[in-house]
Amino acid sequence: MFTLLDPKNDYVFKRLFASDPELTVALINDLRPGLPRVESVEILNPTIDAAELSGKGIVLDVRARCVDGHQYNIEMQVQRQRDWGARSLFYLARLLSQQLDSGKEYRAVTNAIGIHLLDFDLFLASDGQRQQALWRFEMRDSSQPDVVLGSELQLTVLELKKADRLGQAPTPAGDWVRFFEHWQEESVMSDITHEPVKKAMGSIRQLSASEEAQRLAEAREWGRINWNLSIGSARREGLEEGREKGREEGLMQGRLQALRDTLSRQLTRRFGELPDWASERLAVATTAQLEAWADEVLVAGSLEEVFAGTRGLEA
């Protein structure tokens, strides 16, 4: 029996939507209600370079272009970054600027539309912000918001965890929230009637049956964790001694624990429930040991083989 892959894993997310333009169209329309519907799209970056999945800081987005020429950048973000807003605007502006070759007129520019699904809370400063999870941003005047400078830059943001807490009515957008937050819960998924979400669930089951997809999804998760660890390490080197350093070390310990938890899931998936001796070794392992064992998980034939051959790291 295979474990269902998480659709929020950005490798899985891209496999799901880049391989199925109709599913991408449904997601765009469902998260942008009240706007002209998109009928079809061309996926501009359908491939995934498996060699990059364990790299640091790569972006696995889905880029699409509709028949009107408008371009969409669709991303899943599972972790809040300090510069998330600036980064999002940068990529959106680049999507717009890349449309103009030398000699083209500005009127040839079509809309650059970002759709970002966030598995964290972004806006919590007021009661109004805490009661809203789906947002759409444009260039508008601050005192007269009905005056729009243009529609060339648009950003739709869905805060998944907040939307789930607020409780979603049986709408298409609500069904997508339930899919991304409760894909493993049959009791929740069986109540969904929206056909695109049901199709997405079927695709997740099919993808999860592939050992290669399972391996690449895990590789992507390791890449994300290692990126966090490397960023934390680089920041720590420049910190002054004292409380700031202690706070950063606490963050590093949390990221190291995330690394242990991910490896524990991998081992359990491959070899069944872990014996005490394996859990004890994981609990005291260093980052280097955990990374070495993670490499062995993909090729070892037994739990003992995973931990063999790394004695030099434990000295």
Q: Are 41 and 72 in contact (CB under 8 A)?
A: yes
Cα–Cα dist 33/39, whole Å: 14
Distance of CA 185 to the CA centre of its chain: 20
User: How high is the pLDDT of residue 203?
Assistant: 96
Residue pLDDT tens, the chain, 315 long: 578 999 999 899 999 999 999 999 999 999 999 999 999 999 999 988 776 676 555 567 999 999 989 999 999 998 777 778 888 889 899 888 888 775 677 777 899 999 999 999 999 989 999 999 999 999 999 999 999 998 899 999 999 999 999 987 789 999 999 999 999 999 999 999 999 999 999 999 999 999 988 888 887 877 666 655 554 544 445 444 444 444 555 556 666 787 788 888 878 877 888 888 988 888 888 877 887 787 777 677 788 888 885 444 444
**According to the model, what pLDDT value does residue 301 have?**
78
Q: Is 99 exposed, middle or buried (0-12, 13-18, 19+ CB in 10 A)?
A: middle
Q: What share of the chain is helix, strand, coil (3-state, %, to 5)?
A: 50, 15, 35
Give me the pLDDT at residue 292, please: 79
Structure tokens at 225: 């964790």
pTM: 0.73
The reported pLDDT for the residue numbered 87 is 85
- Tell me, what's the pLDDT at 60? 77
CB count in 10 Å sphere of residue 84: 16
pLDDT at 3: 83
Position 128, amino acid: G
Structure confidence at residue 54 (pLDDT): 60
pLDDT confidence of residue 273: 84
Q: CA torsion, points 8, 226, 90, 25, in degrees to nearest 10?
A: -20
Residue for token digits 């999945």? 53
How many CB atoms are located within 10 Å of the residue 183 CB? 21
Task: State how far the Cα of 202 lies from the Cα of 43, in Å rounded to an integer.
Answer: 21
For residue 253 the two structure tokens come to: 């310990």
Quick one: pLDDT at residue 64? 95
Tokens 């310990």 found at: 253
Sign of CA dihedral 31, 194, 131, 122: negative
What pLDDT is stored for residue 302 in this prediction? 84
